[in-house]
Structure 1
């Protein structure tokens, strides 16, 4: 449950975190979720009104999560690709929290960034491949679900631009981005990295996640006892609520706001602003004065979630009409055959 924290409490916590980050040879690991991307205009999945699942619940899907179910994808891939069109990398600018992680990377203190997000914004922010672990996969690669043949992003985009489902050149199976669907295994690299990192973290920063999806949710609970755990979130959750440690720090605030406060205390504010403005210019090809504020981006997230729902519904309605037309044709053929039967 979320609650208001006083300015004095927030300042005290910020100072404590800064002290930890400034320690010699500090090793920082991030565990992040959709909450660090909502300020970018990307809708999350579980918010009651603006989340993708809330909007998809209105559709004629067997259940909202079916859009990410591998068996449903085999039968009806159109729903996923309608959603993928809106979330595809290139439309969104990393948030200030993404760039805060990037600064930790540049300052040499980032051990790893474990993310639940599929949007690749950590990579777009400039964090190197060996420092990012996308626990639920991402749009960074694409493979056939039957023979595992790889397809380039350019080729996949070509299919999508033509409103066609990407199919494998080798076996004609459906191709999808390397997002982990329900029914698929998590990346093997997750466990390889975690075995290396679990006892080698000084500061564990958990941000923008409800810690509701396992096994990712268990990672902050497993970090070594020497690690200082920090939660930056709208509400307290997971192990911070059920099994808190005395050294835990909890900041119940917007992730970008905390990133700005930390960078101010660390002397990184100019670096943060430069990265964020450069990201806006690069991704949106705009000037500094044309960047969107966070409230506009949140409105955009809600609009995108609704638009996705409407597009998926239109696609499903088209499928239903096609199925009905096929059934009508079958009935007409059967009726014609019956008329031609002569009774002897």
Structure 2
């Protein structure tokens, strides 16, 4: 597998593997690029069909839901239908195996994601979600979780676009997603900050190290003496002041090789 990479990338993978073999505290942040390798569109991708006339930023916002709740709910139901058949790719699988190995060796391994899908969980990982969960819902007014099943009698997900109401206060049910202009969940963010501040190696995978607030995690790790590694086929050159090692390749290609290198010696 190593021979598939360029000579320069091989050197960087070996350098990263050498660091990670002895690291006892590892913090990993994944972003949209990891899910994109499973066929899930990112927010930067142009929307298709009926939704091409809308900007994602206008739909994924409290203002958008207040203005047109039916439209926003229908969009999320469309997104759910779009991703329902997507499965974990080699990057998800490698991270799950890595986490399993780390726990068996009593190493601290914290996996954090900006993604709202459940592909990390499907692969077997325990993960902290910074931006919420696509398959969960809550009340837009009292914030109570919506626990009614989304499945039909055939145990298939229901993608109906009719608005749902909260059983407690009657408010409209919305996706349990962090929208533009909203704060990240406190517990998840505190977990992420603590892991970043205390790790020896921080790895950013499939996400820009310049987009806040998550970009602050890499900076926090660096400020506390951690080595920062970025895995991204198109790394941002401005991240040079933050990142120590850049693995410029898709996560699904380089992560299994990195894991193999870590465990082969």
Range into which the TM-score falls when normalised by the shorter chain: 0.7 to 0.9
Q: 1:155 to 1:86 in 2, by over 3 A?
A: closer
Q: Could you say which residue in structure 1 is the equivalent of 2:92?
A: 98
Asked if residue 7 in structure 1 is aligned to residue 1 in structure 2, the reply is no
117, 142, 145: which one pairs with 1:147?
A: 142
Q: Looking at CA atoms only, which structure, 1 or 2, has the larger radius of gyration?
A: 1
Q: 1:230 to 1:113 in 2, by over 3 A?
A: same
1: CA distance, partners of 2:61 / 2:230: 30
Asked if residue 252 in structure 1 is aligned to residue 252 in structure 2, the reply is no
TM-score, length of structure 2 as denominator length? 0.83
Superposed counterparts of 1:1-344, under 5 Å: 7-23=6-22, 26-46=24-44, 51-52=45-46, 58-59=52-53, 61=54, 63-88=55-80, 90-108=84-102, 109=107, 111-128=109-126, 132-152=127-147, 154-155=149-150, 160-224=158-222, 225-237=224-236, 240-241=239-240, 243-244=241-242, 248-267=244-263
Q: Could you say which residue in structure 2 is the equivalent of 1:306?
A: none
User: How many angstroms does 1:231 deviate by?
Assistant: 0.8
Q: 1:11 to 1:159 in 2, by over 3 A?
A: closer
1: CA distance, partners of 2:28 / 2:165: 36
Q: 1:211 to 1:153 in 2, by over 3 A?
A: farther
Q: 1:197 to 1:55 in 2, by over 3 A?
A: farther
User: How many angstroms does 1:179 deviate by?
Assistant: 0.4
Whether the 8 Å contact between 1:34 and 1:44 is mirrored in structure 2 is yes
Runs of 4+ aligned structure 1 residues displaced above 6 Å come to: 54-57, 156-159
User: How many angstroms does 1:52 deviate by?
Assistant: 4.3
Whether the 8 Å contact between 1:142 and 1:153 is mirrored in structure 2 is no
Secondary structure of the structure 2 residue equivalent to 1:141: strand
Whether the 8 Å contact between 1:36 and 1:207 is mirrored in structure 2 is yes
1: CA distance, partners of 2:113 / 2:50: 23
Q: 1:194 to 1:92 in 2, by over 3 A?
A: same
Query: What does the per-residue CA deviation read over 1:120-174, in whole Å, with 9 as the maximum and x for residues that have no partner?
Result: 222222222xxx2211112253210112222126248899544312221222211
TM-score, length of structure 1 as denominator length? 0.65
Secondary structure of the structure 2 residue equivalent to 1:138: strand
Q: 1:192 to 1:244 in 2, by over 3 A?
A: closer
The alignment's C-alpha RMSD in Å is 2.7
Whether the 8 Å contact between 1:220 and 1:239 is mirrored in structure 2 is no
Query: What does the per-residue CA deviation read over 1:169-224, in whole Å, with 9 as the maximum and x for residues that have no partner?
Result: 22221112210012322100133213422332111111111245321122111104
1: CA distance, partners of 2:229 / 2:133: 25
- Once structures 1 and 2 are overlaid, which stretch shifts more, 30-39 or 213-222? 213-222
- Structure 1 unaligned blocks of 5 or more: 1-5, 269-344
User: How many angstroms does 1:66 deviate by?
Assistant: 1.0
- Structure 2 unaligned blocks of 5 or more: none
Q: Choose between structure 1 and 2: higher helix proportion.
A: 1
